A and B are shown apart, each in its own frame.
Chain A
Amino acid sequence: MPQTEYVGISQVSGPFILLEDAGRDAFYGELVDVRVPGGGASRRGRIVSLSEKATLVQVFSGTDGLIPSETRVRLLNRTLEVQLSPSILGRTFNGLGEPADGCGPVFGGKRVDSNGMPLNPMARQYPKDFIHTGISAIDTLTTLIRGQKLPIFSGNGLPHNQLAVQIATQARLMGSENFAVVFAGIGIKHDDAEFLTRELSEKGRTNNVVTYLNLADDPVIERIATPRMALSAAEYMAYELGLHVLVIITDMTSYCEAVRELGVAAGEVPSRKGYPAYLYSDLASLYERAGVVRGLNGSVTQLPILTMPNDDITHPIPDLTGFITEGQIVLSRDLDGKGIYPPIDVLTSLSRLMKDGIGHGFTRDDHPNLASQLFASYSHVQDVRSLAGVVGEDELSKADKQSITFGDFFENRFLKQGKDEDREIGQSLDMGWDILSTLPKGDLTRVSLDEIKAHIKD
């Protein structure tokens, strides 16, 4: 089909341009090229609303410098697509999926619509395979499962990037080594991008790293496309190349802000804190692209990172994310302040899929009850600490003092570990029992009597 070109637009407003009388030729969601003669490279845009008279186009790289009467808009007769072939492994692309490493275009393979399509829930396989990360707090208490979407809720200045790198480089998928990493940077700082790409490619067990980068000073609207590019690549690598793909997306907060900016510019009725009402559905269309498909070898595991504005977990971004993802790993400024790395706040952290991926036949039989007991006992530590804050530690009862000791052991021995320290799951579980033995047995209500006999010496 020939590509139709229009000269002249009638309105420019924020990232949107209005095109008249293109209604009969264009289709909803179509990609367009926008260009001003002599005005530099062409820009990409997408049709977001369409009627016979007026066509609204959202321009990815902004509308600065567009001269309405001279602007040319060409309908490209396709949607926002990404070029995929086995040769993308090891490559770096920009936020719109164009090569950014000077190695030329991607040849061969196929083009797919970056929006993906909803997976039939019947085609899914329930994720059950334990991923070893070598981090006690994660392996024991918020177990990562192959095909899971488990975000890291962090705050500015917390070591989320370090943790993501440690997970990505230490992750071992039991029984398989065909492992790859897709890294999507959305609105991230140059320094962070540099750190992450260097660490991932140098320390990693794999050269299979594909990077999509939209940096902090890149066009905001492109951020909408970046995670979709990365996830399309991940799905391709998983379901067609048979790889187990770990997708690290950072920072989802920048993504949501871009969605808000676009929504406000389009004059939509805002919902909470100015975010559009469809933010939930929009985020779901990204997060739900994790999983394991019945009958196929690969898998997509997502580890999105978001910085909670003002460390507020009830802010719409972490809140909506938590409702969609299968748990969350929450980092705590308190623990970070105490010098504990990784500063994982285990009480608010959660892995929804761990129940089926741990215990008999997966990790160790005592794992589920032990985890539950550690949660219960550490949760009690918080109550005792607040009491100690009022009456002073010396006034505490014997049982409460034992609880305080347990809390210190939990944080300084169990949680705390080196940036390169890789602990076996058995080792982490034994440490768990070890610190529990500081508590009176009557407090251990979550583990069975037999387990107490087996693991705690009198």
Chain B
Amino acid sequence: MESKIKPEENESRIGAVSMINGPVIHAVSMKNFAMREMVHVGESRLLGEIIRMDGDEATIQVYEETQGMRVGERVIGSGESLSVSLGPGLIGGFFDGIGRPLSALLEKEGRYISPGIEAPMIAPDRMWNVTPMVSVGDMVSSGTLLGTVQETELTLHRIICPLDIEGEVIWITPQGNVSSGGIIAKVKNALGRAVDVPLTQRWPVRTPRPYRERLLPNEPLVTGQRVIDGLFPLAKGGTAAIPGGFGTGKTVTQHQLAKWSEAQVVVYIGCGERGNEMTDVLEQFPVLEDPRSGRPLMERTILIANTSNMPVAAREASIYTGITIAEYFRDMGYDVALMADSTSRWAEALREISGRLEEIPAEEGFPAYLPSRLAEFYERAGRVVTQYGENGSVSIIGAVSPPGGDFTEPVTRHTKRFIRCFWGLDKNLANARHFPAISWIESYSEYASEVEEWFQGNIDSRWGELREKARAILLEDEKIQQVIRLVGEDVLPDEQRLVNYTAFLVKNGYLQQAAFGSDSYSPPEKGFAILDMIMHFYDRGLELVRQGVPISLIRENNAVEEITHLREFSAEDKSSFDRALKRLDNHLNRVGSERTREQEGIK
């Protein structure tokens, strides 16, 4: 043990364990430690964080299993709060909640994660080809681009001067290899001292990274999911929540967003969820191609996993680890999308630790500070002007797992206060295997009007008009459905039956989208084409109904039924859409002219 203690760890910085209760322990002789400091606990050097100090005694939440620990084992400070390493080597990485690379742990210890195991977040001997962007004599400060590394084909990693460094460059690495543990520049600061600028920086995860100013989120984060892009769009830098009971498809939706969102970097946090789900991502993403660049999705993805069977305190940390990495890439001027699945598990981790601290619980056992923690997290999203001067954004999409699917429970309710886009998952839709099961009644997006201009400029000028129309039909159909449930469809006037049938087409032909196969990613153009066709059918159908054509004649035809199969065409296949439109028009023309002839015949 002696050899493991670093020189700066003198006697006054060693405490002793005095009480053990699951992941919460108490230690004494702790008065020289700092609140929120990371410590190594016990003979197996388990990682922990100081969460309360009382005189000589500290309460520590331990990120690993404490079984086997004894009273009297020592506690050693690390001198920093929970921090992550930021630099080339993060992309494609797979980390646990406190930033340990799971691949290195696998190599070191085999298939189980044993307590006390350590590995640097980025191996210090990994080499990177750095292209310097400043020269000796240049003045640099926080935000100056010092160099770049082509980390993957999809990601150019920009090394930006950290916050606390300012002055004249006295040495810069030449074009060539620098190790992750190495330095890329030396800067002479105002005091005349030379400061090393490392390739890999450290940053405390609970502190948001700074930026110059916030921008309005008015550009959509295109997700390739019709129900989202079309009805409830998310903006770059926006916040969204996906609540749903079990089996409603939260995780599949999150995976879809991670795959197809138009972001340059995706951070996916598996927080207290299933191990196999992370394995799924790990096996799929290296094979799946980004639809825009054709490169493997893994080249822009970072995974963080603290599965449900891993220690609970690290689950609490995983959210912060993820958002800090996301902010780091934002600072390079990128659009980053962060998925957190599930924020309820994180809230429950807070509750569990709070319970062990014997704090007075507020609602349903959750600590009273739950809403403020949620707010702090979601407020780290945003579209900003970075220190570097470019625009960057972090969008947060948080899954919520309400017990019993009840959206009035505390986590869902408080989350709703801090997000602007709500995609409520509906149990009945999921039971009918209508996926994504995003309810068109309960969901909303406050960004819809802000991003409409972008869609109208980039996709079609009628985007907003069609969206409104589709929503109106869905809402009206909801009322009609209630009537149908009471008296059946046959007694309705044909105009209402047309609305009912159009809503059927919108639901089955447009909103529904398989997570697998060719329809998995649907560019906005394709969604628009389908919706356009459905609304075209509605408009013409309404004319015919008003002329007295029975609804059954209008809808019972292959050309109409085929509308629900339009999504099987690929987005590029314009001719198929055109042919389908022609068939539809032919059918409607025929029905219309037959009616006219009939009426003339009567006359």
Contacts and interface: CB of A to CB of B under 8 A. Distances in A.
Interface string A158-173: 0000000000000000
B25 to A, nearest CB: 9
Q: Which of B65, B71, B110, B280 has the most CB of A within 10 A?
A: B71
Contact of B274 (A271, A324, A386): A324
A51 B561 contact: no
Contact of B276 (A118, A280, A326, A347): A326
Contact of A277 (B272, B348, B434): B348
Given A119-B111, A126-B276, A277-B355, A79 B67 contact: yes
A47 to B, nearest CB: 9
A28 B276 contact: no
A27 B65 CA distance: 13
B433 to A, nearest CB: 4
Nearest to B28: A52
Contact of B361 (A122, A269, A327, A386): A269
Given A271-B351, A271-B365, A353-B276, A376 B434 contact: yes
A297 interface: no
A383 interface: yes
Nearest to A270: B365
B47 to A, nearest CB: 15
Interface string B287-326: 0000000000000000001011111100000000000000
A104 B327 CA distance: 61
B198 to A, nearest CB: 27
A50 interface: yes
Contact of A118 (B19, B26, B110, B113): B113
B442 to A, nearest CB: 18
A125 interface: yes
B543 interface: no
A119 B275 CA distance: 8
Contacts of A117: 65, 112-114
B515 A355 contact: yes
Contacts of B246: 319, 322-323, 328
A323 B484 CA distance: 34
A391 B488 contact: yes
B432 A375 contact: yes
Contact of A379 (B20, B365, B431, B486): B431
Given A314-B406, A391-B488, A323 B401 contact: yes
A29 B68 contact: yes
Interface in B389-443: 401, 403-406, 428, 431-434
A103 interface: no
A285 interface: yes
A57 interface: no
Nearest to B517: A368
Contacts of A115: 67
Contact of B365 (A269, A315, A442): A269
Nearest to A28: B20
Nearest to A283: B308
A174 B442 CA distance: 44
Q: Which of A30, A120, A271 has the most CB of B within 10 A?
A: A120
A30 B67 CA distance: 8
B274 A50 contact: no
A272 B364 contact: yes
Contacts of B406: 314
Interface magnitude class on chain B: 35 or more
A400 B490 CA distance: 10
A338 interface: no
A31 B275 CA distance: 29
A49 B20 CA distance: 6
B253 to A, nearest CB: 13
B562 interface: yes
A390 interface: yes
B556 interface: yes
Given A272-B403, A293-B111, A390-B486, A278 B312 contact: yes
A153 to B, nearest CB: 11
Contacts of B106: 120, 122-123
B3 interface: no
B352 A277 contact: yes
Contact of B112 (A29, A120, A326): A120
Interface string A95-138: 00000000000000000010111111111111100000000000
B283 interface: yes
Nearest to B303: A121
A198 interface: no
Q: Which of A51, A328, A368, A386 has the most CB of B within 10 A?
A: A51
A118 B431 contact: no
Given A118-B113, A322-B247, A23 B102 contact: no
Q: Which of A27, A125, A285, A380 has the most CB of B within 10 A?
A: A27
Q: 6 shortest A-B CB distances, which residue pairs? A: A314-B404, A284-B308, A29-B67, A322-B246, A379-B432, A123-B111
Given A118-B112, A445-B509, 11 more contacts: A27-B67, A28-B20, A29-B66, A52-B72, A118-B311, A119-B113, A121-B94, A121-B307, A268-B355, A379-B428, A379-B432
17 contacts: A24-B72, A27-B68, A28-B68, A51-B20, A51-B26, A79-B67, A118-B307, A125-B279, A126-B283, A268-B355, A280-B345, A281-B352, A314-B404, A323-B246, A324-B308, A397-B490, A448-B568
Interface of A: 23-24, 26-30, 49-52, 79, 113, 115-127, 147, 268-272, 276-278, 280-281, 284-285, 288-289, 291, 293, 314-316, 319-320, 322-324, 326-328, 347-348, 350, 352-353, 355-356, 368, 371-372, 375-376, 379-380, 383, 386-387, 390-391, 395-397, 400, 441-442, 445-446, 448-449
